[in-house]
Structure 1
Amino acid sequence: MPKTTTAPIIKFTSLYRVLDICDVIREGAFSKSWDGEYERVVSGNSTVSIPKNGGSQILLKKIPLKSKDSIPREIANILPHQESVYLVTSNRYSIHYVGITSKGIAGVFSGGGRFSHHVRKILASTVNKGTNHTSGWISHARARYIDIIKSVDGQRQPTDEDLLGDIFIAFGVSDTDWSSKEHEGVVEEYFRDRISMLSGRPSIRLNSAKMSRKHAEIYEPENIKSALYNNIKF
């Protein structure tokens, strides 16, 4: 079936804390000795960028969605959609990332899904050289690593709350026959401007790849202000 020729309406769910809708499966003790450096290494038939000396030493295995009965109903209701765009942002940092999928939201999180790679980049985590730490994420990973060290007293290891408690996600779908890939860029632009305005400082884009920017009408998360900016600490 051909895609619609009219601009789709992309409606986003509310923003939810990742820790409230996902399980974090990780190993390894957090290291306070990483120097913030990255290196290029061979992985299969290509080279990837990874944190030197294991980075934070947190081994993020996967971060799947909780069971359908445990996630909010509005997320459960859109799981049948194949095309979706999602926003990842923070109530502690002025950052944003926009991702897309044409194979359903569940696939972004299942197994070693794409979202686990996002979180490894955030935490300067490595697992068998399987994640390419692309340029958009590196400056934020360094800043977050330093802040985690400052927030952890004595020899205490950081909890999931220390590591990821500020990260929020929302999902956008459309009832039209559309391609999320065609509209990824315009969604990124919308939230870059919106988050910058609400936070009072430029939002840093974690995306680094080129995006298609076909027009779409965007309905933002209804709780974008209350979720992120009630206790603004930027």
Structure 2
Amino acid sequence: MHMDLSPVWISLKTAALSTVIVSFLGILAARYIAFHCKHGKALIDGLLNLPLVLPPTVVGFFLLVIFGVRSPIGSLLMHWDIKIVFSWGATVIAASTVSFPLMYKTVRTSFELIDTNLMRAGRTLGSSEREIFIRIVLPLAWPGIIGGCVLAFARAIGEFGATLMIAGSIAGKTETIPVAIYIAMQSNDMQRAYLLVGIITAISLLTTYTLNRWLMHKQKYR
């Protein structure tokens, strides 16, 4: 019996792209909060972490409000023949939104653990803030950045609620592994459900195992 495994490919490419996006945005946000934010730090930090504490369906609702065809952003994109809702791009947006806080929190913690005397020494030697960030901060925070990427990838590949809200369950297009499992359970297709559960469990286990092995290797090397 032929088994459609397109949800596996959709989930993998969605998680991979969303990890790249949140890595870039998470590092920028963590840098600002850790080193430059002077006012409203607690409020901004709370807003950045909001997708982590909100129910995924609520996150999906907000995304629908933002990117729906009746919203200003959605209407503007429609003028360029770009439709976000019920597209593969919507799965990436949903995965990026829910996984961003994990990347941001991990990287921010790594930045704040860096000895500020090293940064002051760099300024004393005439280095610019950009050079200090690239040559001192990023190398010292590298384990945290890698850990944040792995956690963001694992969270993105398991995203369900927000994805179902904004992207739907279009077979071969927006049907990720968690959505496919839900659909299989609804239709009593237990064979497909067991297979997809086994696949996503294996991917998640391999992801966390790889992170643990890498961190143990780094600790031993140090």
TM-score after normalising by structure 2: 0.31
TM-score after normalising by structure 1: 0.30
Structure with the largest fraction of helix: 2
Structure showing greater radius of gyration is 2
Structure with the largest fraction of strand: 1
